[in-house]
Structure 1
Amino acid sequence: MDDIQQRQEAIRLYLAKEKAAAIAHRFNKSRKWLYHWISRYKNNPQGNWWEEQSRAPHTPCASVDAAMEQNILLIRTELMQEKMAQIGAISIQYEMQRRAMPVAPVWTINRVIAKHGLNKPLEQKMPGKAYPETFWHTHQMDLVGPRYIKGDGMFYSINLIDITTHTCYVKAVRTKSSVGIVAALAAFWQKNGMPDALQMDNELAFRGSNRYPRSFGSIVRFALSQGVTPIFIPVKEPWRNGIIEKFNDTYQKRFLRAYTFENLNDLSVQEKAFITFHNSHHRYSSQQHKTPDEMQALALKPICYKGNIHLPNMDGKVHIPLRGGCVYYIRYIRSDLKLRLPNECFILHERFKYSYVVAEVNIENHCLNIRQNYEIVQTFPYTITAIDW
C-alpha cells in the first residue's frame, strides 16, 4: 500500500468511527499525521485532498537591493580586515548607521552573508546539569599559555573579564608567578571596580600549593582581603567559565594570530590597544548589543581597589595575611559520593549522588560547609594550615 492509499484508507476508517489511536497504530503513523489528513479531507472532501501540495512559499522572497548588498559586502570585508573587530550582522548594522547608509535588517544581512559563503557554522553549547548559581557580579579569570614569541621565548597571558559588562583586561607575563597575577587583578580592579566573586579554574597558580592545599595562595588571599569571594569551577568543565573561554578565543584569533610581536615588551604595548578596542567596539547580544564601555557608563559607580597590598616585599613575594572569608569549590558528585578538593576528598551523603554541590570553606570557623540550593546540608571540620604567603 503506497502513501496515497494509506491516506485514503485512514480516512475511510475514520469515517467508519474507528478510534484515531487505532488507525495511527495500524499504519505505524503518529496521530498528528492522521489529524493532518482529516483536516485536508474536511476542507476539500470532493477534491483530491490526498495529494501532496507544493511547499513553496506563496510569496517569493523579495530580492535584496543591489546597492544595499554591495554596502553589506563592503563593510563586511572592511571589518574582516580590521584584526580586532567583530564581523557579525549587528556590527555591520552599527557601521551602516555610522556611515549614514540605509540600515538593512539583521535577516537581510545574514542572507547576503550566506549567499556569498561568508557565514560560519553555529557553535555547539555544552549541556548543563542543574548547575548552582552563586554570585551575580562576578569576574572570570583564566591563564592562557604557554605561548611563544619567535626569538624571544615563552609567555603566559592573564585574562580577566567582567561578566556583567564584558569589560576585559589582559596582561602578558613571563611566568605563572602569583606576584604577576595579583598585580594584574589589582590593575583591573583599580580601574573597573571589584566584583562580588572571582571565578577561575583549578590551575595550581590560582590555588596556591599542592603541598599545603589548605593554606591558600596569594591570589585567594588577595581576593579575600578585598571582600571578593574566590570560586573554583568543577574540574575538567571549562565551559563553566564560558564567558572568559569565549573571550580567550577572541584574544587568540583577533590579537595573537593577527599580529607579529618582536618581544614581550612589544606585545605588552599592543595588548593595551587590544583592550581599548575590545571595550569600546565589541558588541554583545546579551547586553542589547552595547559595548563594554557603554555598559559601564550605565552601571552604578563601582568600588575600586585603592591599596598596595599586591606589592612584593624584599624577598620578591607577596605576603597577605589570611584573616577571614569563604572560598567556594563547585563540584559534581558521582556514584562514589566523593567530594574532591585539592589533594583530599570527603564522602558525602547519598542524597548528593549525581548532582552539583557548593563546598564552602569558612576560614574563620575552620569548617567545610556543603551547600545545595543555598542551604547548608552537611558540615565537616576543616583546619586551615598556618602557612604565610
Structure 2
Amino acid sequence: MKKELLISKRKKAKELHENGWSNRKIARHLLVSKDSVGKWVRMDEREVLIDNRGWEKGTSRKYAPETKQQIIRIRADLEKEDSYFIGSEVVRKNYENQTGEEVTKSYVDRVLKEAGLVRSPAKKKKGRSKYMKYPEYTLTKLGKSMMSVDFIDPKYLKGSENRINFLSCKYIRPEKLGIVKRISGQTTEQTVKTLKGVWKTHPIPEILKIDNDSAFGANLPHEKYIGKLAFFLLNLGVYPLYIAPRSPWNNGQVEGFNSVFSKKFWNKLQFSDEQEIDVKIMDFNIAYEKYSRLISNNPELEEEDVRYMDDFKDVDLENEHVKYFKADKIYFLRIVRRKNDKGSDEEYGFIDILKHEIKLPKDLINLFVFCIINIKLKQLVINIELDDGSLKEIKSVVFTIKNVRYNQS
C-alpha cells in the first residue's frame, strides 16, 4: 500500500470511528484488517502521518541505542553489587529513577534477552481456578490489607542433621513486602512470637491467609476447636483466612516468596552456622524490602488503618471470650469433596470445617466454596462465587466454637 493511500485510510478510519462505527464495520468498509483499524483509531494526529514500514529489522523505533546500552549497564551493575533481585522489572525501575524517562517492561525484557542475560520463564498453566469457581473477586475485595504466612520446608547445613526452620511472612496488599525469620521449631508459640516481632515495625494486616497446619489453629484433634494462633489474631482484630486443604496454590503469594528465598538465598549462599544465617537473612530481608518498594505501585494505607503491636499493649491476646474479640469472623476456603460412590443414590458433597463435616448438594462437588463463621452469632454461612463476582449463599447452619467463651462470667 502506497504511503498516501495508507495515510488516507488511517484518517478515514478515525473519522468513521468518531462517527460511531465499530472497528469491524470500518475494516469491511476500507478492506483492511480489524487489528489495523484498532491501531489506527488510537493514533494521535501526528502518528497518523508517520509511515514506519521498511524500518530496519531489530532496530527500536521508539528508543535510542543509548537506552539499550544503559539498560545493559544497569543489569551489569546490579550483578556486580551481588543484588538478590536483578530481573527486568528491577532494571526498568532503576532506569526510570536514573534518567527520569519511562521505558516499557517488554522493551527491557527484549534487550536483556538479546544480550543473553535472561531465560524465558516457563508458561503458567491457567484455567483450573475458573472452572472450580475459585472466589478470586471475593478475596481481592476482602479487607484493606492482607498478609500470608507459611513454614518453609526444613533446611540443613552441610554435614549436619539438625533441622533449620523458617517462617515466611508475605504481605499481599497494599504492600508487597516479604520477610523470612529463622525459628526454633514449626510451632504455634514460635509463630506467635515471630508475628509479634514482625508487627512491631510492620503494619498488622486486616486479613491473615494461612494453611491448615495444626500450628496455625485449624486442624486440632477436637471438633469445633480453634488454636492459640486464632485467638491471638481475633484479639488483635485480624481475621484468619484458612485456604483449602492440600491446595498450596491457594496461597500462591507466600509459596512464590518461599521459592524466591530458596533460589536467591539458601541455594545461592554458603553458611558456616546458624548465627551466620541470621546475619545474612537480615540482608536478604532488607534487599527484598527495597525490591518490593521499587516495583510496588499500590496506594498506601490510610493512617487510621495502620496498627502495630504497641497499639495493643493493654489487650489480653490470649482472651477466649467472644465479647472482647476485635475480629468476630473466621474465613475458610474449601473444595467440596465427594462422599460415597459417584452416581450412586448415596452420593453427596461435603466440606470439613474444624473437624466438623457439613453435607452439601452433589452438584457442588469439586467446586470452591467461601465459608464464614460469625463467632458472635454462632453461625456458619457457606457461599459460592457467581460469574459476576457476587456471593450466593448455599447453606447456613448453627456453628458454635466449643473453646470460645460465650457466657457472661
Task: Please confirm whether the aligned pair reaches a TM-score higher than 0.5, indicating the same fold.
Answer: yes
Q: Is the 8 A contact 1:337 1:347 kept in 2?
A: yes
Separation in 2 of the partners of 1:99 and 1:179? 45
| Partner of residue 150, structure 1 | 158
Pick from 160, 184, 205 the counterpart of residue 215 of structure 2: 205
Cross-structure match for 1:63: 59
Give the corresponding residue for 1:380.
397
SS of match in other structure, 1:368:
strand
Q: Are residues 363 and 93 of structure 1, via their aligned partners in 2, closer, same or farther at CA, if it must alter by over 3 Å?
A: closer
Percent identity, please: 20
Correspondence list, 1:92-107, <5 A: 92-99=91-98, 105-107=104-106
> SS state of the match for residue 74, structure 1?
helix
In structure 2, relative to structure 1, the CA distance for the partners of 1:359 and 1:147 (3 Å cut) is same
Aligned to 2:382: 370
Structure 1 residues 324-333 or 225-234, which shifts more?
324-333
Quick one: distance in 1 between partners of 2:235 and 2:286? Answer: 29
CA deviation after TM superposition for structure 1 residue 233, in Å: 0.9
State the alpha-carbon separation in 1 of the partners of residues 96 and 374 from structure 2.
Answer: 53
Cα deviation, 1:133-152, whole Å, max 9, x if unaligned, reads 14132111111121112355
- Residue 304 (1) aligns with residue 316 (2): no
Is residue 233 of structure 2 the alignment partner of residue 216 of structure 1?
no
Residues 198-230 of structure 1: CA distance to partner in whole angstroms, max 9, x if unpaired?
Answer: 111122211255322422111111111111111
Distance 1:92 1:108 in 2: 11
Matched position secondary structure for 1:163: strand
SS at match of 2:201: helix
Match of 2:134 among 131, 134, 159: 131
Distance in 2 between the 1:66 and 1:326 partners?
57
Q: Is the 8 A contact 1:83 1:254 kept in 2?
A: no
Answering whether residue 330 of structure 2 is matched by residue 327 of structure 1, we say: yes
The match for 1:169 among 159, 170, 179 is 179
Residue type matched to 2:349 in 1? L
| Per-residue deviation, 1:154 | 1.0
Name the amino acid aligned to 1:117: G
The count of residues paired between Structure 1 and Structure 2 equals 326
- What secondary structure does 1:337 align onto? strand
- Counterpart contact for 2:88–2:109, Cα < 8 Å: yes
Alignment partner of 1:347: what SS? strand
Residue of structure 2 equivalent to 1:13: none
2:349–2:360 CA contact under 8 A, matched in 1: yes
2:242 to 232, 239, 264: 232
Deviations 1:221-250 (A, max 9, x none): 111111111111112222221221221122
Q: CA deviation at 1:81?
A: 4.9
After TM superposition, the structure 1 = structure 2 runs for residues 322-361 of structure 1, keeping only pairs within 5 Å, are 323=322, 324=325, 325-335=328-338, 336-350=348-362, 352-361=364-373
Q: Deviations over 1:138-193 (max 9, x none)?
A: 11111112111235521221111221111222211121121110011122222222
What residue identity is the alignment partner of 1:60? E
Secondary structure at the counterpart of residue 222 of structure 2: coil
Letter in 1 for 2:85: Q
* Separation in structure 2 between the aligned mates of residue 201 and residue 131 of structure 1, nearest angstrom: 16
Per-residue deviation at 1:251? 1.5
Matched residue, 2:43: none
Q: Are 1:257 and 2:260 matched, yes or no?
A: no
User: Quick one: distance in 1 between partners of 2:146 and 2:337?
Assistant: 27
The residue type equivalent to 2:171 in the other structure is D
Q: Distance in 2 between matches of 1:188 and 1:241?
A: 20
Please give the residue correspondences for 1:32-71 in structure 2 after superposition, counting only pairs within 5 Å.
Answer: 58-61=54-57, 63=59, 68-71=67-70
Report the AA paired with residue 230 of structure 1.
P
Cα distance change of structure 1 residues 148 and 334 upon mapping to structure 2, 3 Å threshold: same
Q: Which amino acid aligns with 2:187?
A: S
Cα distance in 1 for residues equivalent to 2:228 and 2:80: 41
Aligned counterparts of 1:189 and 1:150: Cα–Cα separation in 2: 33
Superposition CA RMSD, Å: 3.5
Deviation of 1:110 after TM superposition, in Å, equals: 2.3
Aligned match of 2:6: none
Which residue type is aligned with residue 397 of structure 2? F
8 Å contact from structure 2 (residues 209, 251) kept in 1 = yes
Give the match for residue 52 of structure 1.
none
Runs of 5+ consecutive residues of structure 1 not aligned to the other structure: 1-31, 41-56, 312-317
Structure 2: tracts of 5 or more residues without a match: 1-23, 33-52, 339-347, 385-389
Deviations along 1:279-318, one digit per CA (max 9) or x if unpaired, are 1234676x44x7xxxx65x75351222246999xxxxxx9
For the structure 1 residues 180 and 309, does the alpha-carbon distance in structure 2 shift closer, same or farther, using more than 3 Å as the test? farther
Q: Deviations over 1:65-98 (max 9, x none)?
A: 6655443333223324555432233322333355
Shift in alpha-carbon separation, 1:282–1:369, aligned structure 2, 3 A: closer
- TM-score, normalization: structure 1? 0.71
Cα distance, 1:154–1:320 mapped onto 2, change above 3 Å: farther
Would you say the 8 A contact 1:183–1:310 is kept in 2? no
Q: Deviations over 1:244-286 (max 9, x none)?
A: 122112212222222222322322222222222211234676x
